[in-house]
Structure 1
């Protein structure tokens, strides 16, 4: 951290430290009431001071808080300072320091725990970026090695084939039809060599994707297959290329190319059906061909790399490739978003995962915090509601009207009198003002319903099975 940053932090901390010292001193002055005549007032002042310290000055050192509390708690005893007052001031100051330091310490623990988790998420993000760079470096080395192998081996062979076919097309013994067929094969070999060169450049530099050749339109592949003698039925919407992103169009074209190639290799002579349709925001391309008794359903395990590439392309574009095999048919179905784009790289995916995990952890922590606050509050509210309800019911159910009380006389049978009395007695009855005699059991009822000021209290005393006496305790 730079010197300017440290100076700025000190300048911001000074006012907060002064506020914390003043609040702590005020709590210390109020501590004189803690051990004497007004402890509730002292506790209220200390609670307010604790809340202010936690919310306004959470980073004030505890030493400053304790020092200000002890000095003010002892200073308030100075007018009549003696050994006893000094001891009382010290005890009150220590108790006040405890009440203030507890919430501050808890707030510091929670703050450090939150900072710890934040550092953990930052380290995870850094690790994800480092891992992404390492993976990218390894992939790039593999691409360079593969590009070199393709360029030196397959590229050389394709070039030689194109040259030999060019020489063969000049032979005077060839018929016009044979010369045209050889020329067509030479052009196909040259195009394959050119596409291989572009693929090699892409392997060496993935950023050169813009230089990649545009995949031929679906109908171009269909017409090429028909010219090669394959029976193809196509159902393709007009203007398909304008409806799809470049990536989606390339994936559909490659699917048709691969399917037609597979049909020519593994099901020669069988008809091929090509269907492309739009379903909402998804393009669905399906290619199927029949399977004869002398053909296979699809690519064998040794040469099925085309399907692997198609499946990988579909996954990278957020779609799926379905392969269906049966004794008499083989079909490929590709489903992609019409605006498909390549998914994020490994590093971006890791970063997204870490951000999502951090967000989830934050939500869980917030939920736990809300539970920690709401649950005690709900329990306290329930206790308060039950208490208030009980007091209300007890107050309203412990009333004997003056008329009914006047009808009760000494000597009345206890069983008859109890039938007309309420089930509940007065809460906190004035037993000292009208105490039961020897062997008596007295019951106390209010004359009217009163929640805040007690009215007259009717007293009915029993001895064995009769009413022994009655009385009234007048309202104060």
Structure 2
């Protein structure tokens, strides 16, 4: 028998989730472990504290990213006024980046950075006796904390842009599944409108003919009553047609947009046959060469129609459909709302456009049935004319009638007039907003460090010109100093600011001594050296720069 093979047990989920944090902590412990053997005193204890402190920061990086940044900032400031320490340098950059990625708002991080920058100024003045450590602190804070934080903010905004883009793409993909059904419904609704207009026109003419029979004195009472019932039934059928027009043709049928043979003269002729008083006027405006004619007489309308419909030849399809619909709907409305009133249809063709005007007289006096209107006929006309590239105007006339006038193009390719609707959507606006934020973060990441560094260098240049006069030790006060004096007594005679470094070539002081240097006079290559040990002055001398 072969021994059974023992497979390693998989790690629990909670331990697997802690592996990235453990790896991050080990990475952050490399810099303090490398510099641990070369330190002593306060720096040694501060570096030893880095191991547990960085572990706490790693644990808090998700829930409290600002705290994980503040802890190494405080430890670095304790170890060095310049804020640049080998133990916490990598930690500051990493936690600054994580704070930018995970903090939703920028103000808390900016307040922390501003607090550290402001605290560094009095600390550098009190403990360093110079402003140069504060300049170094600002430079370290900018390059080691603020710049990674800006990169994190840019990464966060870019991630938001990607998520918004995917959300928009998923939304568009979901919408694509219903686009075909929506298109079919829209087409069926348009076909329903055409059916309603065409059948409504025919039913209005039937009702008009029945009304004429109802008042014909040559018929007996029973036949006139039957004609009245026919008129009422035609009117009721028109209203029911508007309500149940949802039943359309099947998808494989292709109904025509306009009935064949129904030109403008044909529509006018059908209305006359139904008993309406309709006058058709056709005219051509004079062109640029002066040719053309004026309006024809009303009596010659039929002759002009026989000679050829000037509104029907050579028109774009959309213009022809719109022309047919305007005339049809206008005659239908006149038959419904003003039965018996005279109607005048005027069609004028000019260079590049066609003008149509349909005017009916006022409603005749006497008992006439009140017509019921759905209120959508004129709205549909306006949309049809707009899609054809024209304009429509409707309204009552001073005489009490009603006017419908349309201006339609006679050339193809005319764009529709604007409707005031915007194609913009909330998702697109959100995507554009996030894009703007990403571009702004990118500009901040590049521009802010450059501006701050430039301002810092200008401030350092001004301080370089001014600081020599602040570090000059008067000769008389220098002479009053005696070796063996307590440090507190000697410091009362010294300037507040000291030189940040001794003159070049100055030997290093013995171990355990701390020396400060003051200018002999502004711009001098010599300096006063005062060394202290055990809080007492042990040396006072003048040192000179050595090349």
Q: TM-score, normalised by structure 2?
A: 0.39
Higher helix share: 1
Q: How does the TM-score come out when normalised to structure 1?
A: 0.44
